[in-house]
Structure 1
Amino acid sequence: MSLRLETDGRVAHLLIDRADKRNAFNMDMWEAMPGLLDQAARSSDLRLLVVRAAASGPFCAGADIKELLAKKDDNAWRAKNQAAINRVQFELARHRLPTLAFIEGDCIGGGCGIALACDLRVATTAARFGITPAKLGLVYPLHDVKLLTDLVGPGQAKRILYTGSLIGADEALRIGLVEQLAEDSAELVEAMVAASPHSIRETKRFVRRVLDGQAEDDEETLRVFAEAFTGADFLEGTTAFLEKRKPRFGK
């Protein structure tokens, strides 16, 4: 299997394991990914989903170009492939768990889209990023163009999309394509797992509302804010603060 899910305590790792093809995604992988995302979402013990390559090296070189070329005249296959990609990107961007892409090498095209759909991106200095449809006569999906634009702004998004050029990790950090450069993601993972799962879950929903266009509180957001003061995580967090210890949050 070119994709698999492994768990380590409260962290799930979605591993891309097709190193001989630079972790390029084919149809089987796009179709398998929603089931793995759902498996992670259904576990009440998990606090975080990390998407990464199974082996150090390329994160994902994008779509399997050989497969796309072989199927270019098969209208039914192309429609099915587009639907599979769109489903993965939509569900990953709205996953129940906070999500982190850890990128150690090339992160290109559809692979960059997968990273964009995660909540946070950590890259090593060896990482390179590019979105290359303009070099192939293709068009990047609108959903993923929005993910890119939300991160880097319209000017940088156009530069990246119009040229198809690769950019290094330092530049990706400078323009906001990644949030952190590090040789591993352990420190950030530890901090996220230690935080209140209720706070992260509701904050993620609030951020998604903002990205989808909401700018003012409504009845639901006001309720979530108010009810947090009566929740178990607030009691534990404030008690730990007063006792000068680390909080021990539940599920």
Structure 2
Amino acid sequence: MITSELNGGIATIALARATSRNAFRLGDWTALKAALEAIVPTDARVIVLESALEAAFCAGSDLIAMESLVGQPALVAQFRTEMRAALDTLSALTIPTIANIQGDCFGAGVAIALACDFRVAGERARFAVTPAKLGISYPVEDIARLTKTVGAAQAGRLLMVADTISASDAHCIGLVQVLGEAQEAHRCASAIAKNAPQSVVTLKRLIRAVVENEALAFDDIFDGFFASEALVEGIRAFKEKRQPIYADVSRKPLSADPLQRLQP
């Protein structure tokens, strides 16, 4: 179901189960989490999450597997816990993540895509969040990500109407950030991989701090980069009219010591 490879600083995780259009079973969430964790200690500078199929990114949760959970509260709790662990692992990565969506992206597939930093969708991509059609709910963490991304009104439309929308519609409401075919997602990944990795990691962390209303030592972080080897290399490469060559660096998170809640 899940394969991964690393090439030139770009890690690609591919979903590949044609018989179910990449619908997720219980164990697939654990496999996704393991694939992500295996990438963390490597020299990957960006992750592209995509499908090996042309017609579907992810059809959601496997309905046969879902049916087996009916009347089984212990299994439901296990399913919810394993799904949450995989999605939270994806969301919490310091490595930038891109969802490359070139086919149907439904239900749990949307949750996977929302846990990435941004989404690229081709003209064949379609999106739907359909728990209401199945008579179930949607995990609150995924509702929160959806609402933060598209706003409460559009989240309500997607969840309650449960329509299937086009890539262009998804782009209009902010669910998709880039309209483009698979090569565009990989172009974005290549551009990220060529940038200074500590800058990219830090910028991703700062975006999260702003969204979540956290306070880091923002000025100290900004000022500190002026003593970095990366800046020296960046300026030198600009003067020499060449691509800068940035060394891999530790992806340790920014220190939590200066973290504090912003005052309203």
Counterpart Cα distance in 2 of 1:211 and 1:98: 16
Other-structure match for 1:11: 10
SS of the residue 1:55 aligns to: coil
Counterpart Cα distance in 2 of 1:31 and 1:14: 14
Structure 1: 5+ residue runs without aligned partners? none
Compared with structure 1, are the counterparts of its residues 71 and 200 closer, same or farther at alpha carbon in structure 2 (3 Å cutoff)? Answer: same
Other-structure match for 1:233: 230
CA RMSD of aligned residues (A): 1.3
Other-structure match for 1:168: 166
Amino acid at match of 1:76: A
SS of the residue 1:63 aligns to: coil
The alignment's TM-score, normalised by the length of structure 2, stands at: 0.90
Other-structure match for 1:30: 29
Counterpart Cα distance in 1 of 2:210 and 2:89: 17
Other-structure match for 2:82: 84
How much does 1:63 deviate? 0.6
SS of the residue 1:247 aligns to: coil
Amino acid at match of 1:179: Q
How much does 1:170 deviate? 0.7
Amino acid at match of 2:24: F
Structure 2: 5+ residue runs without aligned partners? 249-264
**What is the aligned-residue identity percentage?**
36
Q: Which one of the candidate residues 105, 116, 119 is aligned to 1:118? A: 116
SS of the residue 1:138 aligns to: coil
Counterpart Cα distance in 2 of 1:247 and 1:46: 17
Other-structure match for 1:212: 212
SS of the residue 2:31 aligns to: helix
Q: Which one of the candidate residues 60, 66, 71 is aligned to 2:58? A: 60
Counterpart Cα distance in 2 of 1:101 and 1:22: 16
How much does 1:112 deviate? 0.6
Amino acid at match of 2:164: L
Counterpart Cα distance in 1 of 2:228 and 2:176: 33
Counterpart Cα distance in 1 of 2:109 and 2:216: 36
Counterpart Cα distance in 2 of 1:30 and 1:5: 15
2:89 corresponds to 1:98: no
Task: Summarize deviations over 1:202-239 as a string: whole Å, max 9, x none.
Answer: 1111112222222xx443x3332221111121111122
Counterpart Cα distance in 2 of 1:46 and 1:36: 13
Counterpart Cα distance in 2 of 1:233 and 1:179: 28
Q: Would the aligned equivalents of 2:48 and 2:100 in 1 still touch at CA under 8 Å?
A: yes
2:186 corresponds to 1:151: no
Task: Summarize deviations over 1:142-163 as a string: whole Å, max 9, x none.
Answer: 1111111121111111111111
Which region of structure 1 is more displaced relative to structure 2, 126-135 or 235-244?
A: 235-244
Q: Would the aligned equivalents of 2:48 and 2:186 in 1 still touch at CA under 8 Å?
A: no
Q: Which runs of 4+ in 1 moved over 3 A?
A: none
2:185 corresponds to 1:188: no
Other-structure match for 2:220: 223
How much does 1:96 deviate? 2.1
Counterpart Cα distance in 1 of 2:220 and 2:32: 34
Counterpart Cα distance in 1 of 2:101 and 2:63: 21
How much does 1:94 deviate? 1.2
Aligned residues: 246
Counterpart Cα distance in 1 of 2:120 and 2:216: 33
Task: Summarize deviations over 1:104-150 as a string: whole Å, max 9, x none.
Answer: 11000001100010001111100000111111111111111111112
Q: Would the aligned equivalents of 2:25 and 2:62 in 1 still touch at CA under 8 Å?
A: yes
